[in-house]
Structure formats: C-alpha cells, structure tokens
Amino acid sequence: MTYKNQTFEERKRIALVAHDNMKPVLIRWCRDNKAVLKNHWLCGTGTTARLISDYTGLEVTGYMSGPLGGDQKIGTMIAEGELDMIIFFSDPLTAQPHDPDVKALIRIAQVYDIPVANNKATADYLITSPLFNSSYTAESPAFAAPSTGNIDVGR
C-alpha cells in the first residue's frame, strides 16, 4: 500500500452533527467549549448548526438536514479535503431512518483518515489533544482511484 501526507492546519475545519435526542448534549458541549471552538471553522447539518449558533453564539455554516443530503455534503467535503474533523453525537439507542447515510459518512471519514468523535468523551479528548491547536501532518493510506483507462470487454 502507498501512503500520502495529509496536513491539518492550526485552524481546524470541524463538522458538528447530532441525532435529534443528542442535539441538547452537543449544544451544551459546544457552549462549554466555546472558547476553544470559536478559533476554528465550524459547519453542521440543518437544525443542529442553527441550534448551536442560536444557543452558543458560535458561527456555524449550516447545510441541509442529514437525511436530506447534509450527511452526504459533509462526506463530499471530506473527500475534497475540506474538513479535518467530525464531532457527531449519535444516538445509539434509537433507530435512525437515514442510517445508511450515517454509515456512509463514517466510512468516508475512515477512508480519508479523518478523526470522528461520536460521544462527549471522545470529543473532549480530541479538542484537548496537544495536536488540536497546531498544524499536524499525518501519513494516510493512499487508496487507488478506479481505473479510467481502456478496458478489454472482448467481442
């Protein structure tokens, strides 16, 4: 396998996402960590982004609701090198109708070696890491793109 370098700058680009039952937990976490988060670029899905902005005063760029394409938008941003981290407070006890979208988002984060916090404890560990407020270069697997060359399909 080949590897590539991926640099996370000092000012992180962070997606904030939460399932409905976890929105209050994420909002409180953002409020409690406002002094740290205000120094980074924040985005989020639908209602989550708006509620975080309303309750904390943080500037959060909002996209569509997760089930309406917001999760896929964040996945696209990861694939295009526009995000450094996801804070996604998921609800492990409630079935989600858009679970395939969530799984696709987590999978693309794994492919591109993007840190994901899916609960408060992990989010706390990420933002208190010595690497969080500094530039960091990681060596990530460089997965091969599908072939775009000619293929022999026979006669």
Instruction: Give me the active site residues, please.
Output: 71
Q: How close are the terminal C-alpha atoms of the chain, in Å?
A: 34
In this structure, are residues 22 and 38 in contact, taking their beta carbons and an 8 Å threshold?
Answer: no
> Can you tell me the distance from the alpha carbon of 30 to that of 144, in angstroms, rounded to the nearest whole number?
37
The residues, ordered by sequence, that sit 6+ positions from 51 with a Cβ below 8 Å of its Cβ are 23, 27
Structure tokens given for 50: 């708006």
Burial of residue 79 (number of CB atoms within 10 Å: 0-12, 13-18, 19+):
middle
3-class secondary structure, 32: helix
Q: Nearest 5 degrees, angle CA 20-CA 133-CA 25?
A: 15
